[in-house]
A and B are shown apart, each in its own frame.
Chain A
Amino acid sequence: MEERRYRSASGAPIALRRRQHSASCRELAVRCPRLQLRSLSAVTSAVWLVAYGLFVLSENSMVLSAAIFITLIGLIIYLHFVKIDQESLLVIGSLGIQVTSSYASGKESTTFIEMGQVKDVVINEAVHMQKVIYYLCILLQDPGDPQGVSEVVPLFQSSKPRLDCLIEVYRSCQEILQQRKTAPQ
């Protein structure tokens, strides 16, 4: 088990942890940076300043209670639905690939793709928000056409690692995926 530090596409520090459970089973987890105290206090101060300004203009004290309420509810929604703490990829050679996202509130959302549907795991480049980024994705097999790709499943969407981290993950996945070609069916 080893952990290495990399950078995300926007420059934030991320960490990649690799674990080899067996010869045909690997787990790769990317940990995103935690919620920063300074950005949390900046947003809270901005919202409360605006609310205080509205209170001074309107003389209605409900604005202040509403601002506190909104800040609390907004923080809970952000931690539970938006802020991803860790994204992990579990590749089991003969079985399939499991993608897990853990949110900051503790919620985990998992997707499992069985190996029969997986055509390949590749590093693709695409235009995203006025930038060209590299991202890892799983190509799903088209049942009718052996050469065709029916669907593309992008991985590590919120941590967006840079190419050096993606190459490590790609090589680990390819070692396992190549075993299924050499192994007898």
Chain B
Amino acid sequence: ENSPAPLPERAIYGFALFLGSWFGFMLYLIWAYVPETWLFSLGLTYWPQKYWAVALPAYLLVAVGIGYILLFGINMMSTAPLNSTHTITDNYAKKQQQKKFQEEAIPALRDIPISEVNRMFFLPEK
């Protein structure tokens, strides 16, 4: 149903986006380079200041650079500290129900408590 195969509608969307982005780019170049007097003589007096033709790309690039650092910082902030219980368990593990043990059946999936895991890994002598 939701396959990524090409469809006629998708071809039309793609072409519309292609034309739209070329048109937008040409408009941006005209706005940035054509002198103001020529634009006034055509009647286009209420376009934004040309200052923004340089300022917006500069803002965008700085935002992308800051975004790298911001993402790194957000990741570091959301890492649980060493003294938090989130390193041991979470809501799903606390509320899990114990299924009954059935003979000859694969045991149900569950979160094993950390004490049990430690005893299994570290107590047996080599």
Question: Which A residues touch B88, using CB under 8 A?
Answer: 124, 139, 149, 152
| A170 on the B face (CB < 8 A) | yes
Q: Residue B82 contacts which of A123, A126, A147, A150 (CB distance < 8 angstroms)?
A: A126
In the complex, what distance in Å separates the CA atom of A20 from the CA atom of B6?
Answer: 74
Whether A154 pairs with B123 at a CB distance below 8 angstroms is no
Question: Which A residues touch B82, using CB under 8 A?
Answer: 126, 128, 135, 137, 152, 154, 157
Helix, strand, loop or mixed for chain A's interface? strand
Total A residues in contact with B, Cβ cutoff 8 Å? 25
In the complex, what distance in Å separates the CA atom of A176 from the CA atom of B115?
Answer: 15
Question: Which B residues touch A147, using CB under 8 A?
Answer: 113
What total count of A-B pairs have CB within 8 Å?
51
Whether A170 pairs with B122 at a CB distance below 8 angstroms is yes
Total B residues in contact with A, Cβ cutoff 8 Å? 17
Whether B115 pairs with A122 at a CB distance below 8 angstroms is yes
Which residues between 96 and 140 of chain A lie within 8 Å of chain B, taking CB atoms? 119-120, 122-128, 135, 137, 139
In the complex, what distance in Å separates the CA atom of A153 from the CA atom of B84?
Answer: 9
Whether A120 pairs with B122 at a CB distance below 8 angstroms is no
- Point out residues on A near B: beta carbons under 8 Å: 119-120, 122-128, 135, 137, 139, 147-154, 157, 167, 170-171, 174
